[in-house]
Amino acid sequence: MHTLSIKQLAEALRARTFSSRELTQHYLKRIETLDPQLNSFITVTADQALAAADAADARLARGEGGPLTGIPLGQKDIFCTTGVRTSCASRMLDKFVSPYDATIVKKLQAEAGMPMLGKLNMDEFAMGSSNETSWYGPVKNPWDVSRVPGGSSGGSVAAVAAGLAPVATATDTGGSIRQPAALTNLTGIKPTYGRVSRYGMIAFASSLDQAGVVARSAEDAAQVLQAMSGFDPLDSTSMDRPVDDLVAPLGQSIQGLRVGLPREYFADGLDAGVRACIDAAIAELKKLGATFTEVSLPNSPLSVPTYYVVAPAEASSNLARFDGVRYGHRAEGVKNLEELYERSRGEGFGAEVQRRIMIGTYVLSHGYYDAYYLQAQKVRRLIYDDFRRAFEQVDVILGPTATDVAFKLGSKTDDPVAMYLNDIYTIAANLAGIPAMSLPCGFKDGLPVGMQLMGNFFGEAKLLNVAHQYQLATDWHTRRPAAFV
């Protein structure tokens, strides 16, 4: 069952080949036996999953439900889930049981009828590129358990890549859907900022965070993203516009599609093996009728420095609420209020979160605000303008997702800047707010390589169709890690 696509699973459920309960039990069994090697789940919700599966079976028996009804999913532990621990992979929220559901949880579980298998591991408060900052320990890459799965959605990708869930939710603040998808041979999409509600998604950097999905194909991702999308009056940054049909356009020819290759993304720093995979993908897309032209994103080298001002600044503000009083871990034996705040936060946050809070506090502090924060916001506009000009010439932009394949656990943990530079190709899309995705395009030394497609605002349907056409012509996305077949 775990090798079937979402479309195949939906057909099998409607044909009564197996029930949602049987499907859910199958995945729960795989989680029980295989996840100890990966650490992809923080919380497994077997009882709730089976109850939801029974409800889905009843809906299907009545001839009701939609294309996702009865298909289980994993939820990144950044999304609030009623009655289930929502930890954000932090000691700070280890005991937090949410009294409400995030909007996407409502949409996927209550409305679409997808049973939740559990809450997936991640970097603490989504801060990281390797899933090594979680309070619950690192997640391992199913392709090589001595390597990272990428981050921050490392639990989401490890679970889907290993066949412990057919699909999973994820979030992307600087590449946290695309980079881990690339490192585990999955298809992951970060939609346009404002496309998916952020209500109930624990905030890291509010002007950059966006929820999305990781799946085993563009077709699967399109189904789930469509169900997640839509205006939400509870999120003041949600866009009030109709949800495009992301599934029906799959299958359109890409003859004449104009693809831009940003010269800055193919410069020094890109591994030769990754480059070879991207070149082969370009050749494949040419065969499908796409035309290629070089474009320039001249300010892209500044995207990482811009991000590491904007994101920590917003994080330092968002995480101020975790003080031991309003939310989160509370230190014991304190003498006064100030000590309560300081010790609760010192004990509750891990090193990467502490670093980013301090950077954010510093760049927003008196005397440094103009030099750092205001300047970063101006450079952000330059980066946005680069994309605006590029999309006057091309329909989509193609490049690598990550500089190299998955790295060894622990190899970059003592050098934050080296870790940050890992996201050099993904961050700009968050700063500009445009949709972007990663999809499998080959292997280097037995490890997956991903290519990135970036689109204009609300151009998700076009991106997914290009990816789907590529996946109809290639089989990279069908490869599975040998230890988890």
Partner 1 sequence: MSLSPDQIRQVAKLARLELNPSLTEAYAGQLSNILALVDQLSAAKTEGVGPMAHPLEMTQRLRPDAVSQPDQREAFQAIAPAVQDGLYLVPKVIE
Cβ contact 409:148 at 8 Å:
yes
**In whole angstroms, how close is the CB of 74 to partner 1 at the nearest point?**
23
DSSP conformational letter for 191: -
Among 160, 167, 239, 390, binds partner 1 (CB under 8 A): 239
Per-position x/- string for 140-179, each x denoting binding to partner 1 as judged by CB under 8 A, each - no binding: ----------------------------------------
Helical residues (DSSP H) of 319-374, grouped into ranges: 337-348, 351-363
Among 66, 249, 269, 416, binds partner 1 (CB under 8 A): 416
In sequence order, the 6+-apart residues with CB closer than 8 A to the CB of 205 are 173, 310, 311, 312, 314, 315, 318
Choose, from 19, 20, 40, 76, the residue flagged as catalytic: 76
Known active-site residue 152: yes
Nearer to partner 1 among residue 99 and residue 256 (C-beta): 99
Residues in 396-415 that interact with partner 1 by CB under 8 A: 415
Query: Is residue 136 involved in binding partner 1 (CB under 8 A)?
Result: no
**In whole angstroms, how close is the CB of 83 to partner 1 at the nearest point?**
9
Pairing assessment for the beta strands 291-295 and 258-262 based on DSSP bridges = parallel
Query: Is residue 384 involved in binding partner 1 (CB under 8 A)?
Result: yes
Nearer to partner 1 among residue 325 and residue 473 (C-beta): 325
**In whole angstroms, how close is the CB of 311 to partner 1 at the nearest point?**
11
Radius of gyration (C-alpha) of the chain in whole angstroms: 21
Per-position x/- string for 270-309, each x denoting binding to partner 1 as judged by CB under 8 A, each - no binding: -----------------------------x-xx-xxx-xx
Instruction: Give the strands of the sheet with 447-455, arranged side by side.
Output: 41-44, 116-120, 73-76, 168-172, 210-215, 187-190, 436-444, 447-455, 396-400, 258-262, 291-295
Query: Is residue 233 involved in binding partner 1 (CB under 8 A)?
Result: yes
Stretch that binds partner 1, among 33-41, 153-161, 162-170, 327-335 (CB under 8 A): 327-335
Of 468, 462, 472, nearest in space to 436 by CA: 462
Query: Is residue 256 involved in binding partner 1 (CB under 8 A)?
Result: no
Q: Largest Cα–Cα distance in the chain? A: 71
Residues in 193-232 that interact with partner 1 by CB under 8 A: 193-194, 207
Residues in 179-198 that interact with partner 1 by CB under 8 A: 193-194
Choose, from 130, 134, 176, 438, the residue flagged as catalytic: 176
End-to-end CA distance of the chain: 11
Among 18, 342, 472, 479, binds partner 1 (CB under 8 A): 342
Cβ contact 443:474 at 8 Å:
no
Known active-site residue 176: yes
Among 5, 8, 37, 361, binds partner 1 (CB under 8 A): 361
Nearer to partner 1 among residue 236 and residue 256 (C-beta): 236
Cβ contact 436:454 at 8 Å:
yes
Residues in 307-326 that interact with partner 1 by CB under 8 A: 308-309, 316, 320, 323, 325
**In whole angstroms, how close is the CB of 363 to partner 1 at the nearest point?**
8
Query: Is residue 379 involved in binding partner 1 (CB under 8 A)?
Result: yes
Query: What is the distance between the alpha carbons of residues 322 and 349, in angstroms, rounded to a whole number?
Result: 9
Choose, from 87, 90, 130, 152, the residue flagged as catalytic: 152
For residue 479, the number of C-alpha atoms closer than 13 Å in the C-beta half-sphere is 20
SS3 of 271-331: the string is CHHHHHHHHHHHHHHHHCCCEEEEECCCCHHHHHHHHHHHHHHHHHHHHHHECCCCECCCC
Nearer to partner 1 among residue 184 and residue 452 (C-beta): 452
**In whole angstroms, how close is the CB of 247 to partner 1 at the nearest point?**
25
**In whole angstroms, how close is the CB of 369 to partner 1 at the nearest point?**
11
Cβ contact 177:47 at 8 Å:
no
Count CB atoms within 10 A of the CB of residue 279: 13
Residues in 43-72 that interact with partner 1 by CB under 8 A: none
Cβ contact 104:197 at 8 Å:
yes
Of 426, 423, 434, nearest in space to 395 by CA: 434
Active site residues: 76, 152, 176
